[in-house]
Amino acid sequence: MTADHGNAPDSTPPTGGATGPPDSECEPRAALEALQAERLTALLRTLRDRNAFYDRKFSRAGVDVGRLRFFEDLAALPFTTKADLVADQEASPPWGTALTEPLDRYTRYNQTSSTTGRPLRWIDTPETWQWMLECWKAVYRAAGVTGRDRVFFPFSFGPFLGFWTGFDAATQIGAHAIPAGGMTSGQRLALISALAPTVMCCTPTYALRLLDVAREAGGRAALSDGPVRVIIVAGEPGGSIPATRQRIERGWGARVIDHHGLTEVGPISFECLQAPGYLHVNEREFIAEVVDPDTGEPAADGVRGELVITNLGRTASPVIRYRTRDLVVRTRERCACGRTLARLAGGVVARADDMVNVRGVNVYPAAVESVLRAIGPVVEYRCTVQAAGSLRGIFVEVEIEDAVDAAAVAALAASRLREALGLSVPVTPVAAGALPRFEMKARRFVVDRGTPPAGPGTPAGNPQSAASVRIGQEDS
């Protein structure tokens, strides 16, 4: 039965609470892998002759899926890439051929928030949508969210998958789901004050943005003593970056729970309350491999590699051995919470396609964020990589809190970036409000391939130019 939270805005907010993981998430690894093998075998049999995309892919690879044994033959299945799926949709618009059911069975449409090229379109049947909701329920369960909670969604509810599934799953566990699309940040803060939600789902960037708006209005202290006790973040790596997490938790007086997923894959992983900084892969619903991003060969546990995912329950629009481009470090040691599911240490530590090489040094956006978020007076930043000309390098702009020595903070940021990256990074303070703000995925890391600026101490080019590429976490 759905809990009744009442209508009074000053009613005592629900507190939620964890009940511990279900036995199914704590079973021995051998039993879990046997379940995965059984489900993968059934999935491949379903796809044969019914999913044209995978029927062709397996045939071209010379794979007879009926003769495979798992997991010893898993590597015989070819990888799937985003480029494969985009090419298929371009050849057979608008949906492509990676569909297992007749078209009239599909009732949901979403698309990726790709910053380069055409977005990937993805559709679901009622059954596969419900499967994603079940995956989200695992996220809530691990975060201690129950039917007694009010869950706030400051999300635009556009075509991006984002928190659509989180919203529907919240209603199914009996929580009071509060939509906050189509509002300004100030209006959303007013709604938080009026309705006293106990949980919020958003990007790390937007959790910080709301803190900034509250600070500008003189109400930042009220948020730290407010009703929100858990903030579930996704869409960016910030939830597992300690400096970003700490800034959000201090400002809101709430626990940050990281979560990770992709539009074309589903809700893959979640953090538990007992082990911050680790993401559990929901292995009852996904097979997770980690491979060398250059060779495709398996990477050992504890070694950084690319996450490769097969989803086992999204049968109508599946992905098999999908190269996510997410770089992770896997461990399969039992967690303190009791779960035996594989974990990703540090969450998604980077994306393979986000890395840029500057004067022989590989630079990832998450490394820059980790440094700048640890400097308290830095309110917002933008990092521009000049990728052409003799001035190739990194240039950072920072907004700094009022009543703080901006030059000193910029010098500190430059010093710490040099230590972390091994590069000289000019840091320029800019006026309050000069840098863009983001509701969903932030694009703070800009690669500019146009004409470099006149001087090495200024940001590298115009980030709005056609030659610029914004880099950011792809999807949630």
Tens digits of per-residue pLDDT, 115-141?
Answer: 556 899 999 999 999 999 999 999 999
Nearest Cα neighbor of 115 from 441, 451, 358, 435 is 441
| Summary mean pLDDT of the chain | 88
pLDDT 10s digits, 153-172: 999 899 989 899 999 999 99
- Beta sheet of 199-202, edge-to-edge order: 176-179, 150-153, 199-202, 230-233, 255-262, 266-270, 278-281, 343-345, 330-331
How confident is the model at residue 358, as a pLDDT? 80
Average pLDDT for 108-114: 88
323: which strand partners? 308
Q: With cut-offs at 50, 70 and 90, classify the pLDDT of residue 259.
A: very high
Least confident of 65-69, 217-221, 302-306: 217-221
**Beta strand 199-202 with 230-233: parallel, antiparallel or unpaired?**
parallel
How confident is the model at residue 41, as a pLDDT? 96
pTM over 0.75: yes
Of 471 and 24, the structure prediction assigns the larger pLDDT to: 24
pLDDT 10s digits, 385-427: 886 555 568 899 999 988 889 999 999 999 999 998 888 899 9
Give me the helices (H) in 67-203, please. 82-91, 126-143, 164-172, 185-195
Q: Which residues contact residue 44 at a Cβ distance below 8 angstroms, ignoring those fewer than 6 apart?
A: 65, 66, 68, 320
∠ CA 393-395-397, rounded to 5°: 175
Rounded Cα distance between 174 and 195, Å, is 17
Q: Would the pLDDT of 11 be above 70? A: no
